Structure 1
Amino acid sequence: MPTPTKGPRLGGSPAHERLMLANLAMSLFQHGKIQTTETKARRLRPLAEQLITKAKRGDLASRRRVLAVVKDKDVVYTLFDQIAPRYANRNGGYTRIVKTGPRKGDAAPMAIIELVEELQVAEPKANKKTAARKAAQQDKVEALAPAEETPASAPADQDSEPPVHASGDTTQAREDDDEANENKA
């Protein structure tokens, strides 16, 4: 059985403490840094570093374990796709706690907990599979599309072929037939 933490719990009950720490971790991953009390920052640091370490693995089991703590799927996506790759060559120490002055209302010691490297908004990377699918789809569209050829000498508003009527005759063929009929008569 795990040893309980020393001192009073942050929220009064273990469940409330877990939820508070999960919400703090979610805010930390969303914003890159948060301001909270020094005690909460010290309790948050190990949890946040464990979540980043799991996100560095990047497999499905790790994603599910992180989702068990952080309930927001957008934050988990950000953690796995933007935050974890920045720490690929780092073995720990992903967060920093900087003490600030006491809080105005109750003089509680305040601190800022932040990710060590500045959070940069990265553009989502296109998967190789997605790019390959789009290229294949474009090739199919180009292969199925009829080639549009317009003669250089003909104006754009004239058709390149003479019009065909319901009988299947072209205008030129009907004129030739009319001339032949007139010559016979």
Structure 2
Amino acid sequence: MRHGKKDNHLGRTHSHREAMLQNLATSLIMHKRIETTVAKAKELRKFVEPILTKAKDDTFQNRRVVFQSLHNKETIKELFGAVADKIASRPGGYTRIIKLGNRLGDNADTCLIELVDFNELLVAAVAEKAAAATKTRRSRRGAGAGTRQAAASTEVPSAEVVEEAAPAVEATEVEEAPAASTTSSDDLTKIEGIGPKIAELLNNAGITTFAQLADAQDETVQQVLTEAGPRFNVHDATTWNEQAALARDGKWDELAELQDRLKGGKEAEE
């Protein structure tokens, strides 16, 4: 008997079921929305939501644990990058199931399963509804005196005030003009071994471009990681300047070949 056993085996062996859920989770993370049956979607939700929770804390151990479940480097990059940034403020419930009805052929109950924060239409609709709910209706009683008083207090300022305010605007524009010429930064997360949080640490330390990372000493980068705490000190930064030099020179094919040989930012053992 199956008393108390809530998992749906989906008519598959354990290994077949695990492989199927890995593929479904990979597709969901990469495409943010997939169509499948309701039974598979419910099992996928139980499989992928703990993974999404771990992705919110970008540590070396969490990356290893998640990689054991997904077995795909590109999925790990997307998960700990764009997806983790989107769901950072959500305490749970990262997925939504939308039923589509029965499909032709086998009459299976189908649905869409999607990541909640990536449905821009529904997110905008919820925000608009929340903004409309915050508006309050005010009574029009006694509006006569109040309206006249408000009108008196909002009279057009005199010409002298306008003439005095004009030079201040010009001075502000002259002072703020140089601030527009800022150097653009590169996406350091394209370097194998650097996640969004490490990239933020490097940016705070003044390393914002591939050229700066390529010229930085290994001791300097390791010092930044050490000061950030023990969770970042475990990363090996010995190949980051080599990867950054290839990215700086636009040698993306050579960078991809190098990253295929790397595991966690260091040379993988044969």
Per the TM superposition, whether the score is higher than 0.5 is yes
Looking at structure 2, the residues matched to 43 and 136 of structure 1 have their Cα atoms a distance apart, in angstroms, of 43
User: Retained in 2: the 8 A contact 1:11–1:20?
Assistant: no
- TM (norm. structure 2) is 0.45
Aligned match of 2:208: 131
Report how far residue 10 of structure 1 moved: 1.6
Q: Gaps spanning 5+ residues in structure 2: where?
A: 121-185, 189-198, 216-270
Structure 1 residues 117-167: Cα deviation after superposition (integer angstroms, max 9, x where no partner)? 1279xxx833326526624878xxxxxxxxxxxxxxxxxxxxxxxxxxxxx
Q: Secondary structure at the match of 2:9?
A: coil
Tell me the residue number matched to 2:229: none
Which structure has the bigger radius of gyration? 1
State the secondary structure of the residue aligned to 2:110: strand
Maintained 8 Å contact 1:83/1:119: no
Identity of aligned residues (%): 37
Give the secondary structure class of the aligned counterpart of 1:112: strand
Structure 1 residue 85: Cα displacement: 1.4
Deviation of residue 9 (structure 1)?
1.3
Q: Give yes or no for contact 2:7–2:43 (8 Å, CA) kept in 1.
A: no
Letter in 2 for 1:54: K
Q: Report the Cα distance in structure 2 between the residues aligned to 1:12 and 1:71, rounded to whole angstroms.
A: 20
Higher relative contact order (CA 8 A, sep 6+): 1
CA distance in 2, matches of 1:81, 1:125: 11
Task: Give the corresponding residue for 2:95.
Answer: 95
Against the structure 1 CA distance between its residues 12 and 59, is the aligned structure 2 distance closer, same or farther, given a 3 Å change threshold? same
Cα distance in structure 1, aligned partners of 2:54 and 2:213? 35
Q: Deviations over 1:41-88 (max 9, x none)?
A: 000012111111011111011101110011110011000011011111
Gap regions ≥5 residues in structure 1: 139-185
Alignment-derived partner of residue 176 in structure 2 = none
Tell me the TM-score normalised to structure 1 length.
0.64
The structure richer in helix per residue is: 2
Q: Please say if 1:81 is aligned against 2:81.
A: yes
What RMSD, in angstroms, separates the aligned Cα atoms of the two structures? 2.6
